[in-house]
């Protein structure tokens, strides 16, 4: 990974080259080893005036004539790229594939970044009425409060946990721990943590971040050529749901996560209880709670209690987002799905330093496209 | 396919839904049959303000919870989507996959379409200096004229041939045959066929087109469930070259085509001589000639003679672009790679009506990303 944060002096391609070279170096791989490149980005054309970034990346990395494609699936672009790279290897077309996700989104031509992000909502039912992602998250939060007794304190606790984890991650955008009182239930909280989309406040949203992340995938039988600590993609799932939240059977249920997570667990012959940790897609704090339930870790409505009880803390039974998550590590949208897999890899190798989850054997990640209408789920394990 | 042309009253998603439904109907497939959707588009976000169009398509087609991704590789987005769909099936993850490429590019916000297309050139070496795709084609043409004696008449003959073929294709954008005298060597030609980028004239360029095309891919053993005339993807190749034309060893050689075509022929255990027809990527007339050589059909420099001798005409030994090619069928960039495979499928099934190539057994297509720096090659055959 690159450090996630603000990178005024680098282009999107610069960032993607940087994380790519780190991945290649980590594996001791050279240009002779790479058969194909998958580049993931949601808004390369819109924000950075670049299309066909797979071609640019393969050129800059001197990997020609390797195949190169860009995969785009909104904020799940990184997850989709990994899935397609996996298929390229699993079908025998490629032995070794580099996957790099990146986004440079702090410089926005013309409109606001929120508007660009909203172009992934349903155009007739949502976008034209001014629906944005924070507004959808606000409505989901309100529903959860009514139905399951979720409180604003619970939301704040997700942020507190993930900021604490992020403070131990040198790659995180925000490495500053925050106290609960700083963002909830105090006079200073009113100032520090303004309302964005009722009841969502600033600290319930991920920051806007530049960054890139890469993984090198290869056929299982080749892995020992590159590392003594290969990590295996044991399960992959992907499922879609109605694009417009109003069209979903129950807007409080992430059905696409239920389906994709079940696929990933089935393929890996594991259950949620087998996971040592999880990297969830907390673009908004509410999402971490809902995902922790719909991925199968906790019963519906029980996610906030698990959080309050410390189950999902770094030293808990199921640490969630030891990296800091999207909330603190940051969310360069095209990079996120790859960054989650990078974090799982480091954790499973025991290389996560101060944020290391003890005895990490298996990890789960989920990467949300749209407002949870296209979800990738992964199970990784030590091999 | 949709009819290619100008579709003022339809959105990009409308067009992609239309071609998707036609493909599903052709196969007698329902939503139960589709495991995944690959959407190809180069400029959906930039021109149509839509990202994550895979999610939109799967929603509109009622294919939920099928997986859905968008693949973008400039004007080779369609070819890349087919390759990734192929891998998804070949690795056993999916049985049946819908691939739909589309572009709606006749309505351009702000700048010109030429500028948007140029965002796929090398940013430092080309784009910032005002390089556009027509200018690159102009330089390649000039080099070919100097080195191989290509004439402006040869370029015009590509257009005449492809307009004639296009006049027999009800899906073509331009269905009007043109006479050589209308665009070359006459006083009216000077008016009809103005200079665009010396020596490239208007009739040496493809039109700007809206449209979508779809194919349904499935595992070989499933094909008989859908059709009595399955067409097999026998070979796939993909290769990249330096992005900036000036960095290439020989700018007159499409090295990425040589490599990708060789891969496709090797995988299919065929040679160029085994092909009954070819759909080449004639975004500019010069490209058809150069590709016909670098794909291996003719010796270097001999492509224009083959054209003059009628070898590549509809009734010739190797008909090239019986569909009318990008020149007459049109070039909605994200749709083109898929439309080429659709044409090969119709030809190999004997369903191409007035433009039917006699006894078509095997077909080749190539789809160019960038200015030929990322190329997909396919060999299809009757199965």
Where would I find the beta strands (DSSP E) of B168-279?
195-197, 200-201, 211-218, 231-240, 277-279
pLDDT at A313: 98
Residue of chain A nearest B83, judged by CA positions: A88
| Domain spans, chain A | 12-103
Residue A38 forms beta bridges with which residues? A69, A99
Q: Is the ipTM reported for this complex over the cut 0.95?
A: yes
pLDDT (tens digit per residue) in A312-326: 999 999 999 999 999
Residue of chain A nearest B39, judged by CA positions: A72
Query: Containing H/E element for B367?
Result: strand B362-369
CA distance A158 to chain B (A): 28
For residues A201 and A44, give the distance between their C-alpha atoms in angstroms, rounded to a whole number: 28
> Can you give chain A as a three-state secondary structure string?
CCCCECCCCCCHHHHHHHHHHHHHHHHCCCHHHCCEEEEECCCHHHHHCCCCHHHHHHHHCCCCCCEEEEEEECECHHHHHHHHHHHHHHCCCCCEEEEEEEECCCCCCCCCHHHHHHCCCCCCCCHHHCCCHHHHHHHHHHHHHHHHCCCHHHHHHHHHHHHHHHCCCCCCCCCCCCCHHHHCCCHHHHHHCCEEECCEEHHHECCCCEEEEEEEEECHHHHHHHCCCCEEEEEEEEEECCCCHHHCCCCCCCHHHHHHHHHHHHHHCCCHHHCCEEECCCCEHHHHHHHHHHCCCCCCCCHHHHHHCCCCCCCCCCCECCCCHHHHCCCCHHHHHHHHHHHHHHHHHCCCHHHCCCCCCEEEEEEEECCCCEEEEEEEEEC
CA distance A120 to chain B (A): 5
Q: Which of B365, B281, B355 is nearest to B323 (CA)?
A: B355
pLDDT (tens digit per residue) in A56-110: 999 999 999 999 999 999 999 999 999 999 999 999 999 999 999 999 999 998 8
The answer to whether B158 touches B282, Cβ cutoff 8 Å, is yes
Residue of chain A nearest B72, judged by CA positions: A70
- What residues of chain A lie within 8 A of the CB of B259, using their CB? 65
Sheet holding A96-103, edge to edge: A211-218, A96-103, A36-40, A67-72, B67-72, B36-40, B96-103, B211-218
Cα–Cα distances in Å, from A62 out to A28, A32, B240? 16, 10, 10
Under an 8 A CB cutoff, do B73 and A69 touch? Answer: yes
CA distance A311 to chain B (A): 31
Under an 8 A CB cutoff, do A42 and B59 touch? Answer: no
CA distance A369 to chain B (A): 8
pLDDT (tens digit per residue) in B122-165: 988 999 999 999 999 999 999 999 999 999 999 999 999 999 99
Residue A233 forms beta bridges with which residues? A380
Segment A111-140 shows an average pLDDT of 93
pLDDT (tens digit per residue) in A177-236: 999 999 999 999 999 999 999 999 999 999 999 999 999 999 999 999 999 999 999 999
Under an 8 A CB cutoff, do A59 and B122 touch? Answer: yes
Entry pTM: 0.98
For residues A31 and A25, give the distance between their C-alpha atoms in angstroms, rounded to a whole number: 11
pLDDT at A14: 98
Under an 8 A CB cutoff, do A51 and B42 touch? Answer: yes
Top residue of B35, B55, B82, B337 to mutate, by most chain A CBs within 10 Å, is B55
Q: Which of A64, A87, A119 sits opposite B241 (nearest CB)?
A: A64
- Tens of pLDDT, residue by residue, chain B (383 residues): 999 999 999 999 999 999 999 999 999 998 788 999 999 999 999 999 999 999 999 999 999 999 999 999 999 999 999 999 999 999 999 999 999 999 999 999 887 999 999 999 998 899 999 999 999 999 999 999 999 999 999 999 999 999 999 999 999 999 999 999 999 999 999 999 999 999 999 999 999 999 999 999 999 999 999 999 999 999 999 999 999 999 999 999 999 999 999 999 999 999 999 999 999 999 999 999 999 999 999 999 999 999 999 999 999 999 999 999 999 999 999 999 999 999 999 999 999 999 999 999 999 999 999 999 999 999 999 98
Under an 8 A CB cutoff, do A80 and B59 touch? Answer: no
Count of CB atoms situated within 10 Å of the CB of B351: 11
Top residue of A40, A51, A80, A374 to mutate, by most chain B CBs within 10 Å, is A51
Task: Provide the 3-class DSSP secondary structure of residue B326.
Answer: helix
Buried b (16+ CB within 10 A) or exposed e, B304-342: bbbbeeebbbbebebbbbbbbbbbbbbbbbbbbbbbbbb
| Choices 3.30.70.1450, 3.40.47.10, 3.30.428.10, 3.50.30.10: CATH for A12-103 | 3.40.47.10
The pairing of strands B211-218 and B362-369 is: unpaired
């Amino acid at each position: 990974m690159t450090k996630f944060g603000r990178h005024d002096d680098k282009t999107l391609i610069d960032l993607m080259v940087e994380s790519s070279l780190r991945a290649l170096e980590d594996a001791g791989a050279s240009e002779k080893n790479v058969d194909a490149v998958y580049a993931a980005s949601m808004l390369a054309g819109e924000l950075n005036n670049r299309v066909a970034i797979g071609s640019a990346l393969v050129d800059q990395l001197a990997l020609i004539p390797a195949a190169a494609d860009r995969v785009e699936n909104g904020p799940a672009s990184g997850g989709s790229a990994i899935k397609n790279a996996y298929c390229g290897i699993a079908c025998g077309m490629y032995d070794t594939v580099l996957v790099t996700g990146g986004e440079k989104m702090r410089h926005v031509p013309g409109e606001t970044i929120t508007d660009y992000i909203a172009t992934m909502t349903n155009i007739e039912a949502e976008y034209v009425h001014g629906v944005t992602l924070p507004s959808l998250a606000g409505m989901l939060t309100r529903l959860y409060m009514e139905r399951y007794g979720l409180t604003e304190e619970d939301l704040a606790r997700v942020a507190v946990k993930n900021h604490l984890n992020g403070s131990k991650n040198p790659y995180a955008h925000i490495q500053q721990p925050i106290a609960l009182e700083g963002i909830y239930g105090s006079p200073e909280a009113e100032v520090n943590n303004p309302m964005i989309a009722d009841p969502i406040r600033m600290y319930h949203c991920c920051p806007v971040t530049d960054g890139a992340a890469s993984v090198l995938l290869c056929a299982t039988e080749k892995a020992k050529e590159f590392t003594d600590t290969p990590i295996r993609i044991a399960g992959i799932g992907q499922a879609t749901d109605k694009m417009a939240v109003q069209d979903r059977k129950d807007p409080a249920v992430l059905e696409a996560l239920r389906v994709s997570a079940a696929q990933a667990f089935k393929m890996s012959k594991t259950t949620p209880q087998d996971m040592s940790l999880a990297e969830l897609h907390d673009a908004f704090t509410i999402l971490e709670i809902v995902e922790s339930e719909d991925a199968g870790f906790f019963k519906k409505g029980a996610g906030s209690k698990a959080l309050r009880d410390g189950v999902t803390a770094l030293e808990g039974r199921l640490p969630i987002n030891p990296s800091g998550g999207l909330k603190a590590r940051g969310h360069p949208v095209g990079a996120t799905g790859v960054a989650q897999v990078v974090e799982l890899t480091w954790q499973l190798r025991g290389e996560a330093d101060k944020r290391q989850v003890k005895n990490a054997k298996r990890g789960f990640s989920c990467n949300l496209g749209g407002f949870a209408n296209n979800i990738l789920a992964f199970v990784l394990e030590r091999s």
